[in-house]
Structure 1
C-alpha cells in the first residue's frame, strides 16, 4: 500500500475516537453497489479484501471509499430519446415540445441505466492518530473533498482542516530555486513550473535548474507553482502552490526494505503500510518545517 498523491488535512492530536466505534459508524454507510436504475453508489469498503473497514496498525488507520458509476453518455440518451420522439410524432401526427422532450429523455435514462456498464474506483485515506494527519491519496482535490464529505456523513464530528503554513509554498519554492539551494533534508529535482501574474506559464521537464534562463523568469516576476524534489534520498515528489503533493515515489531502498521483511501478501500489505506511514509522517514534518511551520492559531485550533 503505497500512496501516490497526498491531499493533506490536519486532525487534532487529541481527537477522542477509537478504531472500533469509528468502524461501527462507517458500517452504516458501506458500498451497496448500483441498483438497476441507480446512476451512482458510494460507500465504505475494506481496504484489504476480506478485512475490516479500518485496517489498523497501532495508531495508523487505512480507510477506503468505494464509488460505482453507471457509464451512460448523454449522447446515447439523446439519440434514443430522439428516436422515441420521432416515433411519437409519426404515430400521432404532432411535434414534440421541449418539456415533453425532457420527459422522454428522463424515461430513456431510466430505461437504459440497467444496461449501462459500471465503472468502479476507490479512494484511500490514512489517519495518523499520533501525529494528527488525515491524508487522502488523490491527485484531485474534488475527490478528496468527496471522501471528506462522505466521512462527515458517516462519523460524528470529524474535525479535519486543510493544513496552513506560515510561508506560502509558492514563495518558498521560488526562493529555493532562485538561490539554487533546497531546505535541509531535500534536494531540488528537474521538473519545474513558473507562472506570471497574468497566468503565463513556463514548464521545464527533466531540465537542469541551473543557469540564467530560470533566474531571468523569476527576476521578471514569475513564481514557482510546481517543483520536483527528493526527501533524504528516500521519497521523490512534486510540490505545488496549494501544498498538494503529487507523483509521490518511494525509492528502491524503501521498497527493498519492505520486501525483505514479508513472507506473504498479508505481511507485505501490512509492512508496506507501516513503512509508508512512518516515512511520510517524517517527510511532512520536515516539509512543514521548511515552510515555516504552522501558524500558532492553526496549531491551537488543531488541538482543540
Structure 2
C-alpha cells in the first residue's frame, strides 16, 4: 500500500470535490485493453478491482493510472521485413525502393501486433482533499508526465500547482551535510550524492557509509553541492530527497509496521487501515519537510501552472 515515490503537487486546501464527481470525471477515460492494432493504451483503473474508479476514505482519495504496452521488438520487425523484401525482389526482379520498404514494414508490424505480448503498469495517485496534496507514486518523470496529462484531460480546469518553498532543496541539503545534522524531526542517513556544478560534473556518492562531517566539508568547500540525501523522519519513515523535491525510496519503518490495525478481519479492512495510516503519516511528514525548507511560499495553483513541477524558491 505504501507509496514508494512522492511526486508532489498542490491543490486548493480544502478541495471541495466528492467521490461521485471524481467518478464522473474519470469514467470517460476508464482503461480498456488495446485492440489488435494498438501499440499502447491507457486510462483509469479501479483501485479495489470493483466498479469504482476512485477509492475514498476520510477525505483521502486513491486513483490508479493504468498503461498497457505491446512488446514488439524492432529486431523482429526488421528481420521479417528483410525476408519479405527478399521475396519481393525475386518476384519483381529488382530491390524494393524506400516507399515499398516502408509499406512492407508497416504491413509486417500490423501482422505481428496481434501476437505481441502485453505488459501493464499501474501508477497510483493519492489525493488529500483536506490538506491540498496530489501525489503521484512514480520515480520516473516521464511516467508522472503521463499521469498528469490524463488528469488534465479527465478533470476540467484541474487546479493543480507546484510546491514552492523558501529554501531550495539543494542548498538546504548541502547545509545539513555541512553541519552534520538534519533539521528538527529528521536525521541524516548514510546515502548521499555530492556534485560539482562546474564543467565535468565531478560527483561523489556515499552508499551505506558514515557521512563524516569533515569529509562533507572538504567536498562542499571544493564547490560540490548535495543532489540526493537519505533521511529519516521521526524514526518512522525513511526516504531520499532530491533537488526537484521529488521524494524517493519511501519506506515505513518498524514502528509503523507494528502500528497496523491488528483487528482487521479481511483484505478490505486491512486496505482501509493501511491507507489511513499511510496518508496520515505522510501528511505529517510533508508538513515537517516544508517547515524544514523554510515553509511554503505559495502554491502556484491553477491550470496555467501545470509545467513539470520543480521545487521553487520564493
Q: TM-score range by the shorter chain?
A: over 0.9
Secondary structure at the aligned position of 1:112 is classed as helix
What TM-score, normalized to structure 2?
0.93
1:259: Cα distance to partner? 4.3
Aligned counterparts, 1:15-26, within 5 A: 15-26=15-26
Q: Whole-Å Cα distance in 2 between the matches of residues 147 and 94 of structure 1?
A: 49
Question: What residue number does 1:138 align with?
Answer: 138
Q: How many residues align?
A: 301
Q: Which runs of 5+ in 1 are unaligned?
A: none
Secondary structure at 1:127 match in 2: strand
Partner of 2:177: 177
Is 1:6 equivalent to 2:6 in the alignment?
yes
Alpha-carbon distance between aligned partners in 1 of 2:131 and 2:215, rounded to the nearest angstrom: 41
Assess, with a 3 A threshold, how the Cα gap between structure 1 residues 148 and 38 changes in structure 2: closer, same or farther. Answer: same
Give 1:214's aligned residue: 216
Deviation at 1:16, TM superposition (A): 3.5
Structure 1 length as normaliser, TM-score?
0.96
- Secondary structure (helix, strand or coil) at the match of 1:5 reads coil
- Name the structure 1 match of 2:120: 120
Given that 2:163 and 2:299 are in contact with CA atoms closer than 8 Å, whether structure 1 keeps it comes out as no
2:177–2:213 contact (8 Å) kept in structure 1:
no
| Contact 1:6–1:244 under 8 Å retained in 2 | yes
SS in 2 for 1:238: strand
The counterpart of 2:273, out of the listed 264, 271, 274, is 271
Deviates more, 1:17-26 or 1:127-136: 17-26
Find the aligned partners of 1:81 and 1:61 in 2 and give their Cα distance. 48
Q: Tell me the CA shift for residue 261 of structure 1.
A: 3.7
Q: Which residue of 2 aligns with 1:38?
A: 38
SS at match of 1:230: strand
| 2:158 aligned residue | 158
Aligned position for 1:63: 63
Name the Cα RMSD after superposition: 1.4
